[in-house]
Each structure stands twice: as C-alpha cells, then as structure tokens.
C-alpha cells in the first residue's frame, strides 16, 4: 500500500506541476541542441524529489532504513533545490560545481568515506586516495545523469531499472521507493513527453546512485563494481563522449548533441525505440552481475558489450558528423 501511495503522489504532483508550468510559461523552448521539437513544461523532477524524500523519511521513521544511508541521501535535498533554481535562473557552472563539491564532501562525511577500493588484483586502503576517488565519483555521477537526460523516458527508465536491480540484489525497501517515485513521473514523461524532468530531478538521481555505490561498497568492496556495471550505460556514454570531445579540442562546457543516445535519435530512431533498446542493454548488464560470480569478469564483459554498442551507434551516426 505504501508504494501505491508513493506512485499516486508522484503521479498527481507531476500533473499539477505540469499545469502550473503551462500557466506560468515555464517551458523548455527547443533549440539546435534539443532532441525535441515542441515547447514542453519542465520541472517534473520536483515531483520525483518530493516523493523520494517523503518515502525514505517514512522508511526511516518506521526503522526500515539505515540512518547513515538516510542522512546521506537526505543531503541530496540541497542538490534538488539548487538545481531547481538553476532551471529557473541559470546559475553559473562554477557556482553549481562549488555547491556540488560541498555536497559531495558532506555526503562522504556522513557515509564515513569510502573505506577501500578493490581493484581485483590488489586493494587500495589509503583513505586519501579512496575519498578523492569517491568525491569525484559523486560529482561526476551528478553531472553525467544530467547530461543523459535528453529524450523522453530515458533518465526515468534508467532510474527505475537501477531501483529494481538494487532491490533484486540487496533486497532493501528504499529501492522500491525510488522505483515508484520515478514511475509516477514517467507516466507523463513517456514519448511524447508532456513534461520534462529538469535538472532538479536528474541531478538528484545521479547523486542517489553515487551514494548507493559508496554505501554498498563499504559493505563489500566488490559492490563498487556491481554498481558501476549496473550504471554502465550512462557512465560509459558520458565518459567516452567527454574524452572524445576533449580529444577534438572542443569547449567542454558548451552544449552539444553527441551523446550516443542523441546520435541514435538523429539517425532516425524514435525516442521510445532508443529507450526500449537501452532497457534491453540494462537487462543484459543485470544478468551479467547476477549470474557471473567473478566480478572482474562481469565488469570486463560489460565494458566489451558497451564498447560494441557504441561502435554500432557510431555506424548509425558518426561522432563528428
């Protein structure tokens, strides 16, 4: 019953936010960098954020959630507020990065840092190194999730997949809260989207995944790689695209349409076709994690899979075309 209530809360909040955005003319206007052709309300991530924080607070209240994880995730509220202000007023990149850095530092303090990094053949226990890695992981996940929120249903379906995968592998209730908080929004965001998530939702989702990664890695170091595999579709695309643009001497802060999912839509694929194929790839990644006991092997196979997917997309639409 709890999850039905959360779904309905997210669904109704998204509906009201959509109507308010239309009345206030808070719409995303298409430009040459957009994957959309019609002005569309944004800010639907507010519904996701409110439902998410209500849901995890309820779990904490009934003692169904670890306090360390709860307060670490609760710090994401700051990310949501700042990102919403950015949606409205376009905060400078430097200010956003500064705030994200402060939140990443706060999160690591609340989590007790990242204890060690298992590199399969040896382990890094130096707390300076592990926490520098964890710091950049949080900041990168926040931003890359925002980069990958560009077509209908893509960011939302990824969050639902990660929530379901997390519940299957770890069996904890907060993953279902994530699923239903996003599902209520996704009903309105499926192709064609009647409302967009906006930075307020995408940055929070990226932050949440980073917190899950570090929290569960502290329980078992190999869980770090489990989450990296599960989140592979997003971080692989964002990271390779960034490196390619750097190699081309492009201005990295400039908006673009070179991510793999964007090039697929440019090649003629519809938004829903891209999302459905992404779900299939995600399911394969989950199967790899679930059936291969050797995490190093699962990681290697997942990277090879993502590499071949990227090569397929390169043939459909070249990176520099």
182 in Cβ contact with 208 (< 8 Å): no
User: b/e map of 96-123 (b: 16 or more CB within 10 Å)?
Assistant: beebbeebbeebbebbebbbbbbeeeee
* CA 126, chain centre distance (Å): 28
The residue whose two tokens read 């390169």 is 314
Q: How much is the pLDDT for 29?
A: 66
Q: Which residue ranges in the chain fall short of pLDDT 70? A: 26, 28-37, 321
Q: How much is the pLDDT for 257?
A: 87
Q: How much is the pLDDT for 37?
A: 61
Q: How much is the pLDDT for 182?
A: 97
Angle between helices 173-189 and 2-23 (to 10 degrees): 40
Q: Give the list of residues 6+ apart from residue 210 with CB closer than 8 angstroms, or none.
A: 107, 137, 138, 140, 141, 142
> Mapped to the 3 state alphabet, what secondary structure does 155-208 carry?
HHHHHHHHHHHHHHHHCCHHHHHHHHHHHHHHHHHCCCCCCCCCHHHHHHHHHH
Each residue of 104-138: pLDDT tens digit? 999 999 999 999 999 988 899 999 999 999 999 99
Q: Is the pTM of this model over 0.85?
A: yes
Rg (CA), the chain: 19
Q: How much is the pLDDT for 30?
A: 61
Q: How much is the pLDDT for 32?
A: 56
Q: Domain ranges in the chain?
A: 2-316
Distance CA 177, CA 269 (A): 32
Distance CA 218, CA 112 (A): 9
233 in Cβ contact with 127 (< 8 Å): no
Distance CA 16, CA 238 (A): 32
């Amino acid at each position: 019953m709890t999850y039905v209530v959360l779904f309905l809360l997210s669904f109704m909040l998204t509906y009201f936010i959509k109507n308010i955005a239309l009345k206030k003319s808070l719409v995303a206007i298409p430009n040459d960098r957009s994957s959309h052709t019609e002005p569309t309300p944004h800010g639907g991530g507010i519904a996701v954020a409110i439902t998410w924080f209500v849901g995890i607070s309820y779990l904490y209240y009934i003692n169904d959630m670890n306090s360390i994880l709860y307060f670490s995730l609760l710090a994401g509220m700051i990310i949501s507020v700042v990102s919403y202000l950015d949606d409205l007023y376009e905060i400078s990149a430097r200010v956003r990065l500064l705030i994200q850095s402060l939140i990443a530092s706060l999160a690591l303090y609340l989590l007790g840092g990242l204890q060690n990094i298992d590199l399969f053949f040896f382990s890094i226990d130096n707390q300076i190194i592990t926490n520098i890695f964890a710091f950049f992981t949080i900041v990168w996940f926040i931003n890359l999730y925002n980069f990958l929120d560009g077509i209908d249903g893509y960011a939302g379906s990824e969050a639902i997949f990660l929530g379901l995968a997390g519940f299957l592998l770890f069996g904890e209730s907060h993953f279902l809260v994530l699923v239903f908080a996003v599902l209520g929004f996704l009903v309105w965001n499926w192709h064609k989207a009647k409302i967009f998530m906006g930075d307020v939702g995408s940055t929070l989702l990226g932050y949440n995944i980073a917190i899950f990664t570090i929290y569960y890695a502290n329980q078992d170091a190999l869980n770090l790689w489990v989450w990296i595999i599960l989140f592979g579709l997003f971080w692989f695309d964002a990271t390779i695209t960034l490196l390619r643009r750097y190699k081309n001497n492009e201005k990295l802060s400039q908006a673009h349409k070179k991510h793999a999912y964007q090039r697929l839509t440019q090649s003629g694929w519809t938004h829903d076709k891209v999302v459905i194929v992404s779900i299939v790839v995600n399911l394969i990644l989950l199967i790899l994690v679930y059936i291969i006991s050797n995490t190093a092997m699962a990681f290697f196979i997942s990277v090879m899979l993502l590499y071949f997917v990227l090569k397929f997309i390169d043939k459909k639409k070249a990176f520099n075309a």
